[in-house]
Amino acid sequence: KAGVTQTPRYLIKTRGQQVTLSCSPISGHRSVSWYQQTPGQGLQFLFEYFSETQRNKGNFPGRFSGRQFSNSRSEMNVSTLELGDSALYLCASGVDSYTGELFFGEGSRLTVL
């Protein structure tokens, strides 16, 4: 069974640009969550989608957005990038996230210069 696939794995952007990250969940999983991981703040919840609906959103500015498609694939977008957005962005899928049993991808490492 294929795991959670995130693309791209690494990317470099400059301040002010925007970026779109993609996540393909495990087949059959309808819940996709996104987390930001930084050395200073640790793992922070961005948002969660279930059957194309955002059910919860973390405490991030509106520059961070996401969506989920009918095939459960998800994308997150960050507009007007800032240096502080440099992080590892992790996608996790699950049958339903309320169980806490999430399967994480390897992440997309974003560097903002």
Partner 1 sequence: AQSVTQLGSHVSVSEGALVLLRCNYSSSVPPYLFWYVQYPNQGLQLLLKYTSAATLVKGINGFEAEFKKSETSFHLTKPSAHMSDAAEYFCAVMGSGAGSYQLTFGKGTKLSVIP
23 within 8 A of 74, measured Cβ to Cβ: yes
Q: Is 95 in the site for partner 1 (CB under 8 A)?
A: no
Q: Is 97 in the site for partner 1 (CB under 8 A)?
A: yes
How many other C-beta atoms lie within 10 A of the C-beta of residue 80? 11
Q: Which of 58, 60, 79, 86 binds partner 1 (CB under 8 A)?
A: 58
Grouping H, G, I as helix, E, B as strand and the rest as coil, residue 51 is coil
Residues forming contacts to partner 1 in the complex (CB under 8 A) are 4, 31, 33, 42-43, 45, 48, 50, 55-56, 58, 90, 92, 97-98, 100-107
